[in-house]
Amino acid sequence: MARDTAQPSGGDRHRRLGIPRSFKLHGHLVTVRILQPSRWPHSKSAVGIYEPNKHRIDLRSDLGETELQQTFCHELGHALLDEMNHPLSHDEVFVDNLGSLLHQALSTFDSNPTG
């Protein structure tokens, strides 16, 4: 009997990691792609990027689960600030801190609190 060696689809990975395939900001649909390194069109030193003119976040698939989630939150920070035309969007230290806080909040979110 042949074994099924198919990899999960990109949508399955998005769902498993809690990363959306798309979301809206100011009425714009922002898409999120998780790309294999061989298909990565950006700088090799970048692991994630937000392209405001395309309303798109790209993430590299060769990151670990937590690093991928943190990178998504970092790029989400860029997207939020860019949509507000805020100059801090270009401040990587600020966006790193914002992304870390977003990741912590989202990864510890309790949808069914007790007490």
**Domain span at 56:** 10-107
Residue 31 sits in a domain whose CATH number is: 1.10.10
Closest Cα partner for 59 from 69, 73, 48? 48
Q: Is residue 114 part of a domain?
A: no
**Alpha-carbon gap, residue 12 to 19, rounded angstroms:** 10
Q: Is residue 1 part of a domain?
A: no
pLDDT of residue 115: 58
Count of CB atoms situated within 10 Å of the CB of 28: 11
pLDDT of residue 109: 84
Q: What's the total number of domains in the chain?
A: 1
User: Which phi and psi angles does 9 have, rounded to 5°?
Assistant: -70, 160
Q: Is residue 2 part of a domain?
A: no
In order, the DSSP letters of 31-78 are EEEEE-GGG--S-TT-SEEEETTTTEEEEETTS-HHHHHHHHHHHHHH
Q: Is residue 46 part of a domain?
A: yes
Q: Is residue 95 part of a domain?
A: yes
pLDDT of residue 74: 98
In this prediction, the residues of the chain whose per-residue pLDDT falls under 50 are 1-9
